[in-house]
Chain A
Amino acid sequence: MHSTSALSFSQATSLPTTNYAFHSHSAVNLRFCGLRRQAFGFSFSTHSTSTRLRLSTRAHSYKISASDGNNGTPPKSFDYDLIIIGAGVGGHGAALHAVDKGLKTAIIEGDVVGGTCVNRGCVPSKALLAVSGRMRELQSEHHMKALGLQVSAAGYDRQAVADHANNLASKIRNNLTNSMKALGVDILTGFGTIVGPQKVKYGKVGSTDTLVTAKDIIIATGSVPFVPKGIEVDGKTVITSDHALKLEFVPDWVAIVGSGYIGLEFSDVYTALGSEVTFIEALDQLMPGFDPEIGKLAQRVLINPRKIDYHTGVFATKITPARDGKPVIIELTDAKTKEQKDTLEVDAALIATGRAPFTNGLGLENINVLTQRGFVPVDERMRVIDANGNQVPHLYCIGDANGKMMLAHAASAQGISVVEQVTGRDHVLNHLSIPAACFTHPEISMVGLTEPQAREKAEKEGFEVSVAKTSFKANTKALAENEGEGLAKLIYRPDNGEILGVHIFGLHAADLIHEASNAIALGTRIQDIKFAVHAHPTLSEVIDELFKSAKVKAPASTSTSTSTSSPVTEPVSA
């Protein structure tokens, strides 16, 4: 669907711009997945026109919706151009871009600026992982010897490690706050509730609420750790990532429920700090969601040689915190037969079964919006959809709250996309170009489709799929670091050179993925990008080799910049 719509779209670009704008506005449901070209054409020439057009369209549809919902009347003038509910990474990204676009912007935050990512997620966990990476290295006698280093004994001070994580979070939080303040974003403190179209109230519990109006509203309230029923979280021995990041204690033996990103990262931290880990995974395989081949390799490196064992195909149906001289007790139930299978006794249990949207108390009922399992329903432009399937005008939802892709940078990208739209430039975010990373040692990263997904799509749409792989074992820099373990995998269309997915497991994989994700976002084809030059010796050459090893039938496009034409005759030998 992706490619076909992109094709039909490029035909559209050849039309006069006015036509084009009209086209995009009237056919609201048209999907522009390939949005690159479309976006360019738009922003250059039709900015003002389309803005006007858009506003009228919106006003029109709003009237319909308002009469349906009978949710009061829209204010004539607004306090703000844009109000964002939730100052996490998504809200922050949207706010900064809004200011850049000249919008008067406010952001409502009931807790601390930075949201989950900065305070209870990506940021502090990176601090812990920085520690675990070094510990792991220092403890690996083999690794040290291979480098000729001698280290007597590696140890750590738990509190100091915890402080490092906490300090990092507050530093980033301050940076975020200051950046918004400096740009003139009003930070309104309190929980935000939508009371009607374009109207929000906010206030702290117990104090009186303040009503503010805005032309457009973005919901960016994020998520909280999801705890399945039957599990009693006491915050001490049965914990979620929120608690674990504070590193209040390092258990001898910790069970981690869920083997996704969060669970994997914590297993990396805990085992480096001396814990033993037991994974509990409901699906039949560890690391579901990763490309199977990458998952297999990751298991080979990240699980099997470490002090980790696992139970797959089981639910932790009951977890009781340690008390009365008893350890944490976990009851395991077979995921298929529903029979109780085993009981584990461990020192702590970390619940990493995913995250649930934080949308309670948002006042969505006031505008006739029903959440789905807590998620706010949105279309591909993040426009909120009400219970009748209609768009709610001027209301958007980004980030974890809409559940499209629960990643901080995805939220931010969605926020920027929304700001583009409300400032008159249609924009649809291509989620397949959003990279993801898991910061274990070594790291795992990916963008686009996994191989099974690509094959399924190819089957449906009738194209061929090829896979290219390169090993870190052949990379000079990786070998210099004595970190040759790793694999990069490219899934692509051999007929036209389209990149369908890239998966990397290896040293600094999270930093390496962007070459691929940028290529996907920009629509760059393999036959063109393979001529781009990489510094030698760098890890990026793994990706360079990956592109070069792909066998694409289509010739390199001649329209690419002139700089690519000369190296063709004389390939760079690094």
Chain B
Amino acid sequence: MASPFLSNSTISFSSSLKSSTLPRLFPSVSFSSIRFKPTPRRILTVRSKIREIFMPALSSTMTEGKIVSWVKSEGDVLSKGESVVVVESDKADMDVETFYDGILAAIVVGEGETAPVGAAIGILAETEDEIAEAKAKAASNSGASAPSAPPPPPAPAAGSTPAPPNSTPAYAAPIASEGLRKTVATPYAKKLAKQHKVDTESVVGTGPYGRITPEDIEAAAGILPSKTNVGPVVVVEVKPAAPTKATSDSSAPSSIPPPVPGSTVVPFTTMQTAVSKNMVESISVPTFRVGYPVTTDALDALYEKVKPKGVTMTALLAKAAAMALVQHPVVNASCKDGKSFSYNSNINIAIAVAINGGLITPVLQDADKLDLYLLSQKWKELVEKARAKQLQPQEYNSGTFTLSNLGMFGVDKFDAILPPGQGAIMAVGASKPTVVADADGFFSLKNKMLLPVLLPAMIGVIDFASVLLASKMYSSVMSSTIGVNVTADHRIIYGADLAAFLQTFSKIVENPGSLTL
């Protein structure tokens, strides 16, 4: 998430989200950010959206940001380009603008609070009708970490509430004349409640006149009212692939090998941290891989024809994958909770691009619906934006399926890691001449690509053109083939699904006429 936002003036963040079961958005970089499903594109004009406003990365080293102030308050109507929030970086306080019109439905992270880069700090609703929904979202977003509230006390029955037995007699029962007793919380108690997402209505005040004190809130939030606000040190459990040595009992330090003399330690950048986090996270998903050789002679021929019109090979492949996905929606689905399929109504193809010091996955949204020429143009824009670090969040985190290619490096096939939040990723290798038996029983060499699914790390811009062109000379004698390899989440996508999908994909590539329709 960091890198796309290095532009140094005003920045905006916001992204669509839908599923209310989403956990809090993690500082998602590139691939992994596709945790939530984008709302269908077509609603742009018809229905409205709820978007999250993210903590932006104001510098390459920024990992968390402090909200200096909210320029807008909840309920304020925002128009595109307006400053919404002031975020403090190590250098200056910066105004963050919105890219969308809408209503600031909820502030998730309040003034003076800190949030990691990429975390949702506010919710933007497009219409008033959605404010309630957005608020619920905000609550679920932030409430996830809140400890279960103590059993709510019996609703104080009007003024008859007797003073708690142990309260000092000096504080008599609250004004009896007033009908419903309102909750009284001190300013700091209110601040703490907001910070820890404690509902003051559910807290019994133990302060003077039954008011809620900061201590009450801390108790309700399960915080030790210690002076130091520093939480317990989180011990990151490193799960080594190798079985732990039985002998290393509890001596934790031994698990970290001593540094080799002369080595230097370079801390991760924000983007690298995010990549690392996502990669570790991907371990929790049971994946499997299916490879398929695809002959690209016809595709090459088509490419030659449309190339003068600005069509790139990337667009061709994205389009082909998207069209295949239309027929196999399960491959475009994702498993968010381990209990259900989440079918995405859009087919958004994320494509890995290596940028200086990291990687990002610009997304071709609705790749199945846009024609080749539009897709090509879009891709060009996205790559330029990615290089300039000006991608907007939904331009890199709304993918439903990812494409990765290492073919230009001569890699013949490889296997990609499935980014969290997606069902499958396709890895495309270099095209190479292959001897194939044709219908007449003759062998010929064809260019085939080996398409393993993408490794979400270290991928260059996939421009197949050069690779494929290089192999063209063989085409008269032999065929070009690429190796395609797909990694998928086996909880929802099974071997047969993937095989069928790859077959469809292969057919589309081998008979690419439909791509130009």
Contact = CB atoms under 8 A, between A and B. Distances in A.
A345 B186 contact: no
A537 B190 CA distance: 42
Label chain B's interface by main secondary structure.
loop
Interface stretch (B24-32, B168-176, B414-422): B168-176
Interface in B167-209: 170-172, 175, 182, 184, 186-188, 190-191, 207-209
Interface stretch (A44-52, A122-130, A304-312): A304-312
B69 interface: yes
B378 interface: no
B209 A307 contact: no
Given A326-B175, A327-B209, A276 B69 contact: no
A151 to B, nearest CB: 12
B156 interface: no
Interface residues of B, number: 22
Contacts of A252: 186, 207-208
B69 A300 contact: yes
Label chain A's interface by main secondary structure.
mixed
A278 B191 CA distance: 12
Given A252-B208, A300-B68, A305-B112, A276 B188 contact: yes
Contacts of A276: 186-188
Interface residues of A, number: 22
Interface in A262-292: 276-278
A136 interface: no
B184 A345 contact: yes
B187 A253 contact: yes
A318 interface: no
A308 B187 contact: yes
B208 A327 contact: yes
Given A325-B172, A326-B172, A309 B208 contact: no
A236 B69 CA distance: 36
B111 interface: yes
A252 B186 CA distance: 9
Contacts, number: 46
A326 B171 CA distance: 7
A81 interface: no
Contacts of A300: 68-69, 111
Contacts of A253: 186-187, 211
B169 to A, nearest CB: 8
Nearest to B185: A309
B175 A296 contact: no
Contacts of B208: 252, 327, 347
A304 B69 contact: yes
A308 B214 CA distance: 12
A65 to B, nearest CB: 56
Interface string A335-363: 00000000101010000000000000000
Contacts of B170: 325
B209 A309 contact: no
Interface string A82-100: 0000000000000000000
Contacts of A326: 172, 175, 209
Nearest to B170: A325
Nearest to A153: B227
Interface string B318-344: 000000000000000000000000000
A539 to B, nearest CB: 20
Nearest to B178: A343
27 contacts: A141-B227, A141-B228, A252-B207, A252-B208, A253-B187, A276-B188, A277-B187, A296-B69, A300-B68, A300-B69, A304-B69, A304-B112, A307-B186, A307-B187, A307-B191, A307-B214, A309-B190, A309-B191, A325-B170, A325-B171, A326-B172, A326-B175, A326-B209, A327-B208, A327-B209, A343-B182, A345-B209
